[in-house]
Homo-oligomer: A and B are copies of this chain.
Amino acid sequence: MRLLDIYAKFQKDISFIEKELERSIDVEHPILREASLHLLKAGGKRIRPVFVLLGAKFGNYDLERVKHVAVPLELIHMASLVHDDVIDDAQTRRGQLTVRSKWDNRIAMYTGDYIFAKALTIVTRLSEPSIHQIMSKALVEMSIGEMEQIRMFFHTEQTVRDYLLRIKRKTALLLAISCQLGAIAAQASEKTAKQLFNFGYNVGMAFQVRDDLLDICGTEKEIGKPPGSDIKQGNITIPVIFALQNPALRPVLLRELERIEASDGQTDVTDFLNMIRASEGVTRAEAMVSHYINKAIRSLEGLPDIQAKRDLVNIAHFVGNRSY
């Protein structure tokens, strides 16, 4: 099933959130507005707002309340992308110039700060302390995850556990709280919110492993940037960690990694990618994606059999198989 087909059913609500997103960054400052809009127009799957909407369907669905969670969560995601691009020296994302390459690093940093702050002003319109607590704690974890990623650049001794903890913080947590906060904003029960958290968490883990696989196995056309950008910046992802566990492959991979690090990422990584592609690293990472997708779907057991539940299951399958 294509994501578009799943989204079609609640297109009206998604368009509403999209308009609210635009409205939220309608700032007078010229560069800030342009940089934020540029980012917004670059699109994206809007999975976080969609998870919020679907989570809210398990309670008293009220778009006017739910938007105060859906919009901030997408803004937080956008802000973290801008800050990532500063770190990554990324020139393009989703085939578009990044804020830092179109303007500069300083503007990217403050655009990110602005979007973060804007996200907070919106969520303050809901008064439940639990919503603020959950969101701010996730922000702390996200920033630790980002730091951890830098610390682990070209760190060939890292374990599967290191990786999993990192992608939990970097990706899975925000998807988890998207589902959870949708439910909380709609006054669903605590148990329902917890189940939805688990769903989002597991989909998020699968999402990131799939993303890391795509950076190794995808084409530039599919992923909107040249493959291998992870390894060029030193980000050792799970297919590589698995491949490094193969005693026959390990020495040659270590030599390649040393060469890439020495070149500061300014080298051809085709050989390296081909070795990983041919290794069991890819198949084991694929299995990991399936494992998390299955866990995600099982998290929904016992929830009422409404359309939103079927939509979540379909999105989970899409995330498991996506090639973009």
Contact = CB atoms under 8 A, between A and B. Distances in A.
A121 B147 contact: no
Interface stretch (A51-59, A129-137, A195-203, A217-225): A129-137
A143 B106 contact: no
B129 A117 contact: no
B107 A147 contact: yes
Contact of A118 (B106, B113, B114, B140): B140
Nearest to A139: B117
Given A29-B148, A147-B29, A147-B32, A110 B136 contact: no
A15 interface: no
A67 interface: no
A183 interface: no
A148 B32 CA distance: 9
A22 to B, nearest CB: 16
Given A120-B139, A121-B136, A121-B137, A146 B87 contact: no
A151 B110 CA distance: 12
B83 A143 contact: no
Given A31-B151, A106-B86, A142 B124 contact: no
Contacts of A139: 113, 116-117, 120-121
Interface in A92-108: 105-107
Interface residues of A, number: 40
Q: Chain A's interface: helix, strand, loop or mixed, by majority?
A: helix
A143 B117 contact: yes
A129 B133 contact: no
Contact of A109 (B83, B133, B140, B142): B83
A108 to B, nearest CB: 9
B106 A87 contact: yes
A160 B311 CA distance: 56
A254 interface: no
A127 B124 contact: no
A150 B106 contact: yes
Interface of A: 27, 29-32, 83, 86-87, 105-107, 109-111, 113-114, 116-118, 120-121, 124-125, 127, 129, 132-133, 135-137, 139-140, 142-144, 146-148, 150-151
19 contacts: A29-B147, A29-B148, A31-B151, A83-B109, A83-B113, A86-B106, A87-B110, A105-B105, A106-B150, A107-B150, A113-B142, A114-B147, A116-B116, A116-B143, A117-B136, A118-B140, A120-B136, A124-B132, A132-B132
Q: 9 tightest CB-CB pairs across the interface, nearest first?
A: A117-B139, A120-B136, A114-B143, A124-B132, A113-B143, A121-B136, A117-B140, A124-B133, A127-B129
